[in-house]
Amino acid sequence: MSKAALAMLDAAATNAKGRGSFERLRAPALALPGLFLALLVLISVITPLVLPDAPFQQHLSEALAGPSSAHPLGTDELGRDLLSRLILGTRISFEVGFGSTAVALAIGGLLGLWSGYSENPVGAVIMRLSDVLLAFPSILLAMLVVTVMRTDLPGVIVAVALVNIPVFVRLNRALMLSQRRLEYVEAAKALGGSTSYVILRAVLPNVLAPLAVQSALAIANAVLLEAGLSFLGLGVQPPTPSLGLELQEAAAYLRQDAWFGIFPGLLLILIVLALNKLADEGARWYGRTDLKVE
């Protein structure tokens, strides 16, 4: 294709609805949950570098101690500082959330866009496989995958990604079906644009807003799945802390030290609420309320 044709296609894509809709995601209502999550990410990245041994140092004489100046959130059953362990556990949650969502978005997104554009029988096969995966409850599918693979961080990321891949396949196929008959797509094909060019350069920039909304929901789902797997002993293994593992360890000591279980659960709730708030506000500003593909 000539440079002039490419310029025409880029201009058409820029003027399409999706690009303008993406700009509407920059709303003041997104500032508070976004700032909270950004602060958590920053703390979870910096603190383990500054205090690498704090989450693992044992002080048995201070086991199950309540909040104090030395330990602002108290200690666990081995006298380890609960605050530092929650910070490291939050880091694990974000690694699983962002990592698994990136994998699911890359694989499921491209498969969904391609199946919606190509009208190929292979696309129908992809959709039926997605339906099969969606038929399994998320936690059972994740348990099956992580058991077959291994119970460590990469295994959990792959398991959670597999749960979210069919969601992105269905969403991206629906988005492609809504876009492929629009004028800018027809112009791209008429000017000789290849399938990869039409999908990646023309359509993809115009569906970023709903993808961003669904990504926030997928990260929240991944954080909950990781916590559930760790609570069942199938996630990140001790002594590495995670929010689900902290809740599992706290279950036996709730009568002796309620703080031990309250803080991990509260932090998990706040993270999921913030991510869902981002998704809800993003969907509202995008002008859609039907983007929560389950």
Q: Where are the domains of the chain?
A: 13-48+72-286
Lowest-pLDDT range, 25-29, 163-167, 184-188?
A: 25-29
* Model pLDDT, residue 290: 43
Number of Cβ atoms within 10 Å of the Cβ of 152 = 13
Lowest-pLDDT range, 11-25, 120-134, 189-203?
A: 11-25
Tell me the DSSP string of 11-73: HHHHHSHHHHHHHTT--GGGHHHHHHHHHHHHHHHHHHHHSTTTTT---GGGTT--S-SSSTT
Crossing angle, helix 183-190 and helix 3-15, to 10 degrees? Answer: 170
Say yes or no to pLDDT of 265 above 50: yes
Q: Taking a C-beta distance cutoff of 8 angstroms, is the pair 177, 116 a contact?
A: yes
How far is 159 from 143, CA to CA, in rounded Å?
8
Lowest-pLDDT range, 61-65, 128-132, 153-157, 226-230?
A: 61-65
Say yes or no to pLDDT of 281 above 60: yes
Confidence of residue 29 (pLDDT cuts 50, 70, 90): low
Confidence of residue 215 (pLDDT cuts 50, 70, 90): very high
Say yes or no to pLDDT of 38 above 60: yes
Across the range 241-254, mean pLDDT stands at: 90
Residue 75, beta-bridge partner list:
81
The residues, any chain, with a CB within 8 Å of residue 74's CB and separated by 6 or more, are 64, 65, 66, 67, 68, 82, 257, 259, 260, 263
Query: What is the number of helices (H) and of strands (E) in the chain?
Result: 12, 0
Say yes or no to pLDDT of 102 above 60: yes
- pLDDT-above-70 percentage for the chain: 86
Q: Taking a C-beta distance cutoff of 8 angstroms, is the pair 9, 193 a contact?
A: yes
Confidence of residue 206 (pLDDT cuts 50, 70, 90): confident
How far is 256 from 71, CA to CA, in rounded Å?
17
Say yes or no to pLDDT of 235 above 80: yes
Of the candidate CATH numbers 3.30.465.10, 3.40.50.1980, 1.10.3720.10, 3.30.365.10, the domain formed by 13-48+72-286 belongs to: 1.10.3720.10
* Model pLDDT, residue 142: 92
Amino acid, single-letter form, for residue 12? A
